[in-house]
Chain A
Amino acid sequence: MKKEQWKGRVVGILSGIAPDVEPERLGDETDLRQDLDLDSMDLLNLVEAIHEQFGVAIPDADASAIRTLGELVGYLDELAP
């Protein structure tokens, strides 16, 4: 899967978690916590959805370190089966 495809899939998940977010305004630099106002429960739901859809179980420590949408997409691009 290409990076843009990863991004599209992740944005799809984010739209479910944060329905008020406008997908077209999301970029690589979008900060998941600051810009999208995701809290720890939202992030847990995001990690769970990624696990369900892509089979990638992001460890807590890695999830805490991921700051932006671009970093998340890059992480998945490297690790996804």
Chain B
Amino acid sequence: MTDFVMPILGADMEEGTLVEWRKAVGDEIRRGDVIAEVETDKGLTEVEAFVDGMLEEIVVGPGTTVPVGTVLARIRTIRSTGETTATVTASEPRSADGEAHVRASPAARRLAAQLGVELSSLRGTGPEGAIQSADVERAAAEASAKPKEAAVSPSAEQRKQRMRQTIAAAMSRSKREIPHYYLATTADAHPATTWIAAQNAARAPGERLLAAVLFVKAVALALREVPELNSVWEEGRGVPRDRINVGVAIALRGGGLVAPAIHDTDTLAVDELMRRFRDLVLRARSGALRSSEYSDPTITVTSLGDQGVESLFGVIYPPQVAIVGFGRVVERPWSVGGAVVSRPVVTITLSADHRVSDGHRGALFLAAVDRLLQTPEAL
């Protein structure tokens, strides 16, 4: 049997409201199926199943607000042999269901003892569901707040305030815990902008590309060369991720932002990447993101170029270990073949976690992004 729990959709998400069940008891469930809709500080989110099976029991009804890790439903899972399996979470690995089998770091165990938190009641977010200090801290913070009924849907102003609080918590934690280092480089954007212009000249508006997708693709490919930046901080070390899921920062109208993942960014052709990017922006702004899009980014790309900013140094979103910023493409004097000409250039920045990488590797990463952008047709 698998517990389907309220997923953690951001480093500082504490609770969520179950809005709607998309499946009924007895329904067959496939991995990736959206089975529930949850409202969090970031808006409505479709939550996917991460196992195949059958919905056995619904534990939490619509309209109920519960802490992260609370069991929402139980899924009878079926292995290829037909056996039922042990407890697994719907969205991420979870600790085993008995105290004797709880996987937790030594630091988390010490903290749990200090704060009086029952480890077996927690959902670990570390490797193989191991409970980490952050999980214990979160549980301690939630301890005084009993689950409460969501009588009415929060107003837009309340949502905005909650999102602000969530961003504040995540960014404060990041600046408190992560020793950032910062690098910047200025890249010739002429090849990228001329390639985009040529492409778009022959396309209907609905098929056109934005320079942003070239930036995102270049970042994804550069991560193959410097994989430590495609890591998450777990158990006191940086753990490289196999998949490159670039999170793209999307500003929401009225304030706030989200940075959902484009899965397997490095493998996508530019046209497909643009299609997914457009879809992601549309769904982010209409509150229809999926849980995996919140939980899976391995790095974030952000830009304030549309707002006229020439360079920005982002704050890393934990547990990620890097964030890449792109500024506005601007015309600047540039040396080409010994002559100074006016050239479109873009400032690319890297904020990275010094616990995981050094400036030398960060510099190689930025150099790779620059180099990749010089041949946009190959992206």
Contact = CB atoms under 8 A, between A and B. Distances in A.
Given A41-B278, A41-B281, A57 B253 contact: no
A80 interface: no
B113 interface: no
Interface string B237-276: 0000000000000010110000000000000000000000
Interface residues of A, number: 19
Given A44-B210, A60-B197, A37 B204 contact: no
Contacts of B277: 41
A51 B253 contact: no
Given A19-B253, A20-B254, A37-B253, A51 B212 contact: no
Contact of B306 (A18, A40, A61): A40
A40 B253 contact: no
A48 interface: yes
A8 to B, nearest CB: 21
A57 B204 contact: yes
A33 interface: yes
Contacts of B206: 48, 51-52
Nearest to A58: B205
A28 interface: no
Interface of B: 197, 200-201, 204-206, 208, 210, 212, 251, 253-254, 277-278, 281, 305-307
Given A20-B253, A20-B254, A48-B206, 7 more contacts: A18-B253, A39-B307, A41-B277, A41-B278, A44-B210, A47-B205, A60-B197
